[in-house]
Amino acid sequence: MSDQTVSALALTELPSKRSFFKPHRIVLIVLAALIVFSVVWFMRWDWVPKYSGRLAYGIGVTLLMLASTSILGFLLAVPIGLVQVTGPWPLKMLARGFCTIIRGTPLLLQLWLLYYGLGSLFPQFPEIRNSFLWPYLREAWPYGVAALTISFAAYEGEVMRGAFAGVPKGELEAARAYGMSPFTAFRRIWLPRAVHRALPTLTGETVLQLKATPLVATITVIDVYSVISKVRQETFITYEPLLLLALIYLCLTAILVVGFRWFENHIPTRGA
């Protein structure tokens, strides 16, 4: 996916603050304030204090899922991108097949395949049941982490392939002319340059990953989405919890976007 497509799918820029006080905007802001006021006043929010602790816990789980799977996925994406550019052909085919399969099937299906499929397969092997991993494999979150990591790795692996291929040849030749070994050249020149080239897409991919995290609620991981589902089941309130959930995700996305912008501004770039 190109950078433009990603930014069409995920919010990567906050709306600018400039000219907030044009006359029509003031009218719109007043209208929005009226709507917010009536939502707060006329709808039922008395359940919020009771569930606030669980909501905070759920937000924590969501953020933990997001951070761990993005980092793990990115670490996995580097070799996937690299072997597609320079690896021997069996590895190249393997990496390409992996990206095609993961990007060609819905994440929900992959998640359920791992959770229900592997989850029903593992108990049949006594070796696994007796291993030290079993207490973890009986829980839901390892499958959620695995599915989200694999998905992020496949999408970001495609980005890294482009990034590795796009590093100017002259820079690599210069590294070789300095007498660097292939590994040193990779560590000092190729990898840093490729990561630098891939950074702009990282905002969008991470926001997309945040938008994918609520799927883990379908395999009983207690994230913020599943806390809200619980609220809806227990209180029989239809809309208010969903509105709060949308607001929570909106805020999380905004924080991510601002954070990445700050991060990008602090990475030295020459020229452009």
Partner 1 sequence: MADAGSLINWSLLALSPPGWGGVLLAGLWQSVQIAVGGYALGLALGTGGAMGKLYGGPVARDLLEVYTTLVRAVPELVLILILYYAGTDLLNQLSAALGYGTVDVSGLAAGIFVIGVVQGAYSTEVLRGAIKAVPAGQIEAARAYGMSPGQIMRRITIPAMLPHAIPGLSNLWLIATKDTALLAVVGFSELTLVTRQAAGSTKAYLLFFCAAGVLYLLLTLVSNVLIGLIERRYRRGMAEPA
**CA distance linking residue 202 with residue 161, whole number of Å:** 14
**CA distance linking residue 105 with residue 93, whole number of Å:** 18
Query: Nearest-CA neighbor of 228 among 61, 108, 55?
Result: 55
Instruction: Calculate Rg over the CA atoms of the chain.
Output: 23
> Which residue in the set 101, 133, 174, 258 belongs to the binding site for partner 1 (CB under 8 A)?
101
State the binding string over 171-210 for partner 1 (x if CB under 8 A, else -): ------------------------------------x--x
7 lines the binding site for partner 1 (CB under 8 A): yes
Nearest to partner 1 of 180, 197 (CB atom): 197
Nearest to partner 1 of 124, 269 (CB atom): 124
Q: How far apart are the first and last CA of the chain?
A: 23
**CA distance linking residue 124 with residue 116, whole number of Å:** 13
233 lines the binding site for partner 1 (CB under 8 A): no
Question: Smallest gap, in angstroms, from Cβ of residue 30 to partner 1?
Answer: 13
DSSP assigned state of 109: H
Question: Smallest gap, in angstroms, from Cβ of residue 121 to partner 1?
Answer: 6
245 lines the binding site for partner 1 (CB under 8 A): yes
Q: Say whether 143 sits in a helix, a strand or coil.
A: helix
User: Which stretch, 33-41, 130-138, 140-148, 245-253, contacts partner 1 (CB under 8 A)?
Assistant: 245-253
24 lines the binding site for partner 1 (CB under 8 A): yes
Convert 115-147 to b/e letters by CB count within 10 Å (16 or more is b).
beeebeebeeeeeeeeeeeeeeeeebbbbbbbb
Q: What is the dihedral of CA 238, 241, 245, 250, to 10 degrees?
A: 90
> Which residue in the set 188, 243, 259, 263 belongs to the binding site for partner 1 (CB under 8 A)?
243
User: Which stretch, 68-76, 80-88, 107-115, 153-161, contacts partner 1 (CB under 8 A)?
Assistant: 107-115
Residues engaged in binding partner 1 (CB under 8 A): 1-2, 4-5, 7-11, 15, 22, 24-25, 28, 100-101, 103-110, 112-113, 116-121, 124-126, 207, 210-215, 218, 225, 238-239, 242-243, 245-246, 249-250, 253-254
